[in-house]
Amino acid sequence: MAYIKNWANNEKLNKTEVAKLEKDGLRILDDIPYYAENGFESIPKEQWDLFKWAGLYLQRPKEAGYFMMRVNIPSGILTKPQVDTLAGVARDYGRGVFDITTRQAVQFHWLEISQIPDIFKRLEAVGLSSAGACGDITRTIVGNPIAGLDPEELFDTTSIVQEVYNFFQKNEDFSNLPRKYKMSISANTKNASNAEINCVSFTPAVKLIDGEKRNGFHLKVGGGLSSRPFLAETVDVFVDPTRTLEVAIAVTTIFRDHGYREKRHLARLKFLIADWGVEKFKEKLLEYTGPLPSKGEEPVQQWNAGYFYGVHDQKQAGLKFLGFNVPVGRLDAEEVFEIARISELYGNGEVRTCNSQNLIIPNIPTKNVPALLAEPIFKRISISPHSFIGHAVSCTGIEYCNLALVETKERMRLVAEELDQRISLDVPIRIHMVGCPNSCGQRQIADIGLQGMKLRNSNKEMVEAFEIYVGGTLNAGGQFNQKLKGKVAADELTDVLEELLIFFLNEKVAGESFFDFVGRVGLETLQEVLDTILGKETYGVSI
């Protein structure tokens, strides 16, 4: 259907909005064959940003002409042909690099414009797409990676996620949103989809209607991270699963038609919700949907942060799903081919990605589990990883990203592996490292968040460094971590973290989580500890 761009006459529109009025972002898909045939030099610079709508970013440095591609994986569910296809793209075009993102997507690097049409053809042949994976549009839908298998899910959300994803995919009625737009749909009771940090989330709920207990969703809106993070708020409605798409369309329409388009840094849905409040938002929502029941109860358990390590019973008798650690989400193409082979040999070929940057192999008959685990690849991609590497998350970093200030991916891996050699704890600590304030690595919800920056060391040289944040969670509605004053040079980060963690080890009570510890001892105490660490002569840091 056509819609009216009621913002078109606003004289204060930012430059991106003006450009989008002239050409819809999805139209770049029409141009790519020409650019592929005529080379990178044929692409006007003013068209570079439009490639986001095709799921493509120019990687660092832009002028070199190499692209990063993000492929949508709704709910993280992949078939054997899809896994093989993705592995083939990484091998043939991406120098073997295969990254799992914090939104269950797959990311490639080193792609050239001449290769993109063939990659699109390969993806389309197995039902995959990169369209809308970036840009001011509905991104891939995060969901429950064990949907349909989960003994504790209220209901299977697989078909719902696919229906909503298919509706928005390449839909030009919703391809000109004020800013990126992130959605999650999950009936997992442990909040595997990180609902509170999405623009809009459908979360498990139950309600008594006409004397009958109904399973459905609650609706959360206005979450998001970056430099001004917000936790999503719950709207007072109960959504029957059959109305999920209808409600998703209504929320997206409100954002499209009423979201802010003057300043890019204030354009996310979270800013509209912060200004309107959820009551006004609900009133507007009901104008589109008609009456919706008031909210019910939320059958929530402890947040699992998207971690599923180990061997678990599926709801299907005699079948198991196995959760594996992929260190900081990075695989090489040959490993992915091997995982695909194993998933088919011992199961039905499915592989699932998690927003913790890990993977799951489901539908394994109980008798096949020992043989699967004996495969050599699972020495690195472990079902029972060491604690720090098993709970380490990293963004792409300066290796490929134009926004990053520091190297992250390999550094986070090395820091975590070294901490595993030095410290043993009775509870896991989630450490997330990000290369800039945009926080693709979701620094704000980590036990310990590390945000990259630059500083001058004692020799007046600019070096990579990090700020430390402590105490993030998405339990009980969520709480973002808080910054400790001080900046740590990158080459001293592991030692500083070790001393901070030794203080935790010595002062904690048995079984106490890091989040609870931060709440008990207080930020001021931890600041004093860090000040003492940074004050030692062995650390050449700037505060």
Q: Check 143, 216, 441, 472 and give the catalytic one.
A: 441
Q: Check 60, 180, 256, 413 and give the catalytic one.
A: 180
* Catalytic residue check, 440: yes
- Of 328, 302, 490, 317, whose CA–CA distance to 409 is shortest? 328
- Of 373, 380, 378, 326, whose CA–CA distance to 353 is shortest? 326
* Catalytic residue check, 122: no
Cα 361 to Cα 370: distance, rounded to the nearest angstrom: 14
Q: Check 20, 60, 103, 179 and give the catalytic one.
A: 179
* Catalytic residue check, 243: no
| β-bridge partners, 313 | 320
Q: Following DSSP, what letter does each residue of 178-208 receive, concatenated?
A: SS-EEEEE---TT-TT-GGGSSEEEEEEEEE
Whether 203 contacts 298, CB under 8 Å: yes
Q: What are phi and psi of 159, to 5 degrees?
A: -70, -30
Whether the ω angle into residue 61 lies within 30 degrees of 0, i.e. cis, is: yes
Whether 254 contacts 209, CB under 8 Å: no
Q: Check 70, 256, 352, 430 and give the catalytic one.
A: 70
- Of 343, 364, 239, whose CA–CA distance to 293 is shortest? 239
* Catalytic residue check, 134: no
Q: Check 435, 449, 452, 472 and give the catalytic one.
A: 435
Tell me the angle at which helices 80-93 and 333-346 cross, rounded to the nearest 10 degrees: 160
Q: What secondary structure, in 3-state letters, does 297-326 show?
A: ECCCCCCCCCCCCEEEECCCCCEEEEEECC
Q: Check 440, 443, 452, 508 and give the catalytic one.
A: 440
* Catalytic residue check, 180: yes
* Catalytic residue check, 70: yes
Q: Output the six-digit token pair for 143.
A: 């969901």
The count of C-alpha atoms lying within 13 angstroms of the C-alpha of 424, restricted to the half-sphere facing its C-beta, is 0
CA quadruple 394, 481, 224, 235: dihedral, nearest 10: 140
Tell me the angle at which helices 409-422 and 493-507 cross, rounded to the nearest 10 degrees: 40
Q: Which residues contact 332 (CB under 8 A, 6 or more apart)?
A: 90, 96, 97, 98
| Torsion sign over Cα 300, 306, 307, 310 | positive
**Which residues are designated catalytic?**
70, 179-180, 435, 440-441
